[in-house]
Amino acid sequence: MTREQWQAVRNVLEPALDLAPSKRGAYLDEACAGDAALRREVESLLQADDRATHAFLTGKAIDHVELSEDTAPPDTLQGRRIGPYLVLEEIGHGGMGTVYRAVRADDQFSQQVAVKAVRSGLADKLAIQRFKAERQILANLDHPNIARLLDGGATEDGRPYVVMEYIQGSPIDQYAEAHALSLHERLTLFRTVCSAVAYAHQRLVIHRDIKPANILVTADGVPKLLDFGIAKILDDPQQSAGVSIGAEQTVTIVRLMTPEYASPEQVRGEPVTTATDVYSLGVVLYSLLTGRRPYVLTSKTAHEIVQAVLETEPEKPSASNRRLRGDLDNIVLKALRKEPARRYTSVEQFSEDIRRHLDGLPVGARPDTLAYRGSKFVRRHKWAVLAAGLAVLALTGGMAATLREAYIARAERARAEQRFNDVRQLANSMLFEVHDAIQNLPGATPARKVLVDRATQYLDKLAQEAKGDLSLQRELAAAYERVGDVQGGFRTANLGDTAGFIASYQKSLAIREAVLRADPSNANAQREVFITRLRLSDALMWTGDLKGSVEQVKQMLAVAQKLSAADPNNLINQRNLASAYLDYGWKRSGLGDWKGGLEDCRKGAATLESLAAAHPSDKRIRRTLAIAYERVAELESRYTGAHAEPLALEQKAVAVEDALLQEDPNNTDIRRLEAWDTLRVGEEMLEGGDPRGMAKYRDALERFQTLSDADPKSIQFHNDLASVLARMGGAHLVQGDVRGAVSDLKRSLEQIENYSRTGALDIDALETRAQDLFRLAKAYQRLGNPAEAAAWLERAIPALEEARDRGSHRGEDASMLADARTELSAAQRRLSPR
């Protein structure tokens, strides 16, 4: 189909999709006007539309793939330990964080608490500042009707949290309904709430977000005021000096408010005083007495909220309940006046007026005069109303860019920013959600390339515009790693671009280090640098730069030691330190000091063993432990010539992997590790003289073949297959099965040659190829075919040289090269005798 044809089809199809099926026939008769091909096409698409289930493309892409545990939103603290508290479940969201129910885990009687933590994704400094302020404020408040602050701190990833008294109760309006409280009881209960607010006001604290949901009444009938989430200290010099706060800050404050209980001054973004709480208490009292809100909002649109809060005079409470006529009408309406100065001057006065009413005394509140009715007020505040309207638009619209639009004079710029955020969001969802989700799906490599290419195109464009935006910088760093992985990350399905691979990781590390410099104590930033360094170190090693690789891992170890010294009981620090020793030892052993390297690996393995025993549910530790066994075994076997001990270690590695696969049978990563360790078991058995080792080779080969068949484009699996076949060929050669060896070695070469066309080879593949060629020469010598042997030697020499030049540090390669040269000249002499 051409673009023009599709356009023609759409011209007919789109109106047809809007028609009832019964009317489509007549419509098509006319619209297609005898063009049978067009009609066939449109009808086929209409059929497709009928067959497409409602769900097709209606959700988000992410809902169509099951996420593994590891990709669950990292935001939740559920199930985690914070200090001495075990977080049980989420019980609500505050303005800028989540509230959880938790227990003191070391307490026999398991005292329940509420833990409130700032959202981890909230890179909003304002929110963190406020949160810290909240902690300070709460620490100074000690009142029977205010939820008590018990503790506070920061989680290991740097999120501030507070621990508060856990209140089991219902919101005050629901409580009053459920217990069918009398008018007298409702007023008395309300006065208790007033006493708590008045207490806070005396300590220069304004609540700013009073609403029924923040006033819980316990089963004993005791009201408790919660959530000083956006409270402000009155004597904050910056704010009380009358300095007008920035537009964005205002917006943030407004956004954190609940529109139905917000006061006119809050909607206008004006300074907030104790009169603001008087107003919100007025709304609460209104609801408590009438069961309704002061304003009847039908659609909750921005315009309606502004109109109601700023312009509409609330209906008298007595309109709902005649018993309220008179004093109570006057009291409630006085609290709800638009102008702060005309409300009660304090919560005590408000409460006192209610007491006088209850005692049958004359009250201070008088009916409002007409002169103050809303319309005039609004006329005087035309511009404020307009600004507030935009703020509330942002409030109800819910999009960050809309918020900016409200206050940034240049609409063009706001538009650009909105687009920017959308694209950033899109790029992220593609990179992280979709890519992660399909990452281990068999055959997913081409789709990943498309996804990653597109997403990075967007991000690259944005990168220049976003200097100084730390959260975007972190997203970019992660994005570069994702690109690097798909380009040439040998450890996962990849596209074979090793140069791009290294460059992407170096970019990522540079960004992550800059982020860490900006915030050196941030645990997340520390961990991100650690992991990126590990990945870069691997990448350098695989591309042949072992020195560069060891340099990275050395820095990684130094950082891990420092962090672990600062917080030795932190599990992540312990795991990272063990991993760093293991990796440093393994990589540096290739540079010469194998004894020191083996020591480091043993040290890492011992720590991992005890960590795995203490935390059996931690799959990462168990995975790393399996690799630790394998590495210690490999180094011992390679350098000490022992085989019994390495065999036992490899068998332990397989046992760990078996257990992991029982829990997660489709994990290709672990299946691959197990295939490798099965091969290594076979190698150690043969080396130790046990001929049953050969069966292990065949078992391993079959496992790799299965993995590769499931994802035929993955270079890693082809490299794996090539390596296994090479080793198998070597073993057959040693055992005297020369024809078997030739077959294995040729298959191994075939794997490598095929896939060297799709990109550069990593160091393992280069070594494998060189050894295959050399061993084939050997095999043909044994078969009595010197001409064929010489031909293989001629190919083996440059391959061995390339492996050496690209950084191979295996001693056997060097001796193979020397051997090959000697044998080639000998063969040439024999073949062309003078």
Partner 1 sequence: MTLSLDETLAPVQERELDLVALDDALEALAKLDERQCRMVELRFFGGLSIEETSEVLGVSTPTVKREWASARAWLYREISGAAPNAG
Scan residues 520-549 and list those touching partner 1 (CB under 8 A). 531, 534-535, 538, 541-542
Tell the smallest beta-carbon distance from residue 637 to partner 1 (Å).
13
Nearer to partner 1, 143 or 415 (CB): 415
How far is Cα 96 from Cα 257, in angstroms, rounded to an integer?
Answer: 11
What is the rounded distance in angstroms from the CA atom of residue 686 to the CA atom of residue 234?
A: 79
- Minimum CB separation of residue 240 from partner 1 in Å reads 40
Taking the complex as a whole, the smallest distance from the CB of residue 57 to partner 1 amounts, in Å, to 5
Residues 475 and 508 sit within 8 Å (Cβ to Cβ): no
Say how many C-beta atoms besides its own lie within 10 A of residue 632's C-beta. 25
102's CB contacts (< 8 A; 6+ apart) are 82, 85, 86, 87, 88, 112, 113, 114, 115, 163, 166
DSSP annotation of 760 reads P
> What mask of x and - would describe binding to partner 1 in positions 558 to 597, judged by CB under 8 A?
---------------------x--xx--xx----------
Q: How far is the CB of 275 from partner 1 (least distance, A)?
A: 37
Binding mask 28-57 for partner 1 (x = CB under 8 A): ---------x--xx--xxxxxx-xx---xx
Smallest distance, partner 1 to C-beta of residue 822, A = 28
Is residue 687 close enough to count as binding partner 1 by CB under 8 A?
no
For the record, the structure tokens of 820 come out as 């090959």
Minimum distance from residue 107 beta carbon to partner 1 (Å):
35
Q: Which residues, including other chains, have CB under 8 Å from residue 525's CB and lie 6 or more apart?
A: 474, 512, 515, 516, 519
Q: Among 450, 591, 787, 831, which residue sits at the site for partner 1 (rule: CB under 8 A)?
A: 450
Q: For 63, which DSSP code?
A: G
The only residue of 444, 478, 803, 816 in contact with partner 1, by rule CB under 8 A = 444
Question: By C-beta, is 192 or 678 nearer to partner 1?
Answer: 678
In the complex, the smallest distance separating the C-beta of residue 768 from partner 1, rounded to whole angstroms, is 9
Binding part of the chain for partner 1, among 132-140, 244-252, 436-444, 643-651 by CB under 8 A, reads: 436-444
- Of 303-362, which residues contact partner 1 (CB under 8 A)? none
CA gap 206, 137 in Å, rounded: 10
Distance, in Å, from the CA atom of 630 to the CA atom of 651, rounded to the nearest integer, reads: 9
Task: State the CB neighbour count (10 A cutoff) for residue 379.
Answer: 10
Nearer to partner 1, 1 or 219 (CB): 1
The three-point CA angle 376-346-94 to 5° equals: 90
**Rule CB under 8 A: is residue 451 a binding residue for partner 1?**
yes
Using the minimum distance from each CB to partner 1, give the nearer residue, 226 or 673.
673
User: Is residue 13 close enough to count as binding partner 1 by CB under 8 A?
Assistant: yes
Q: Return the closest-CA partner of residue 301 out of 259, 250, 254.
A: 259
Q: How far is the CB of 652 from partner 1 (least distance, A)?
A: 15
Instruction: Note the helical H segments in 211-246.
Output: 237-240
Q: Is 723 in the site for partner 1 (CB under 8 A)?
A: yes
Reduce the DSSP state of residue 16 to 3 states and report it. Answer: helix
* End-to-end alpha carbon distance in the chain: 71
Are the beta carbons of 272 and 208 closer than 8 angstroms?
yes
Q: Which stretch in 173-181, 269-277, 446-454, 788-796 sits in contact with partner 1 by CB under 8 A?
A: 446-454
Q: Is 667 in the site for partner 1 (CB under 8 A)?
A: yes
Q: Is residue 70 involved in binding partner 1 (CB under 8 A)?
A: yes
Question: Hey, which residues between 734 and 793 contact partner 1 (CB under 8 A)?
Answer: 764
Check if the beta carbon of residue 554 is closer than 8 Å to that of residue 535: no
Stretch that binds partner 1, among 58-66, 76-84, 99-107, 812-820 (CB under 8 A): 58-66
For residues 615 to 654, the per-residue mask of contacts with partner 1, x marking binding by CB under 8 A and - elsewhere, is -----x--xx--x--x------------------------
Q: Which is nearer to partner 1, 545 or 583 (CB)?
A: 583
Nearer to partner 1, 23 or 40 (CB): 40
Which CB atom, from 55 or from 371, has the smaller least distance to partner 1?
55
Query: CB of 58: closest distance to partner 1 in angstroms?
Result: 9
| Residue burial 406-425, b: 16+ Cβ < 10 Å; e: rest | bbbeeeeebeebbebbebbe
| Smallest separation (angstroms) from partner 1 to the CB of 639 | 16
Chosen residue from 5, 140, 521, 758 binding partner 1 by CB under 8 A: 5
User: HSE-up of 430 (CA within 13 Å, CB side)?
Assistant: 21
Rounded Cα gap, residues 810 and 204, in angstroms: 72
Q: Toward partner 1, which CB reaches closer, 48 or 518?
A: 48
**Which of 192, 250, 439, 508 is the binder for partner 1 (CB under 8 A)?**
439
Q: Which is nearer to partner 1, 290 or 719 (CB)?
A: 719
* H or E stretch covering 532: helix 523-542
Instruction: Using alpha carbons, list the distances in angstroms from residue 249 to 47, 136, 254, 402, 643.
Output: 53, 20, 9, 14, 68
Nearest to 330 by CA among 371, 289, 298, 274: 289
* Strand bridging mode 215-218 / 81-82: unpaired
The backbone torsions φ and ψ at residue 205, rounded to the nearest 5 degrees and listed phi first, read: -120, 125
Binders of partner 1 in range 377-406 (CB under 8 A): 399
State which of positions 404-433 bind partner 1 (CB under 8 A): 418-419, 422-423, 425-426, 429-430
CB of 695 to partner 1, least distance (A): 21
Our CB check for partner 1 shows the closer of 68 and 522 to be 68
> Between residues 279 and 584, which has the closer beta carbon with respect to partner 1?
584
Residues 195 and 202: their CA atoms lie apart, in Å, by 10
- Which residue's CB is nearer to partner 1, number 293 or number 454? 454
Tell the smallest beta-carbon distance from residue 779 to partner 1 (Å): 22
**Nearest approach, Cβ of residue 10 and partner 1 (Å):** 5
Q: Which of 268, 593, 251, 551 is nearest to 397 (CA)?
A: 251
Residue type, 618: D
Q: CA 200 to CA 740: how far, in whole Å? A: 86
Beta partners for residue 393, in sequence order: none
What is the bridge-based pairing of β-strands 97-104 and 112-118? antiparallel
Between 51 and 322, whose beta carbon lies closer to partner 1?
Answer: 51
The order of strands in the sheet holding 85-93 is: 81-82, 85-93, 97-104, 112-118, 160-165, 149-154
Contacts of 364 (CB under 8 A, 6+ apart): 349, 353, 356
Decide: is 607 part of the binding site for partner 1 (CB under 8 A).
no
Cα angle for residues 129, 130, 133 (degrees, 5° grid)? 90
Selected from 526, 668, 714, 771, the binder of partner 1 by CB under 8 A is 668
From 107, 339, 669, 709, residue interacting with partner 1 (rule: CB under 8 A): 669
Closer of 117 and 451 to partner 1 (Cβ): 451
**Among 350, 480, 505, 676, which residue interacts with partner 1 (rule: CB under 8 A)?**
676
What is the smallest separation between the CB atom of 528 and partner 1, expressed in angstroms? 13
Comparison of 91 and 438: residue with beta carbon closer to partner 1: 438
Number of residues that bind partner 1 (CB under 8 A): 86
Measured from the CB atom, the residue of 68 and 471 that comes closer to partner 1 is: 68
- Please spell the DSSP secondary structure of 198-209, one letter per residue: HHHHHTTEE---
Would you say 332 or 707 has its CB closer to partner 1? 707
Mark residues 179-218: x for contact with partner 1 by CB under 8 A, - for none: ----------------------------------------
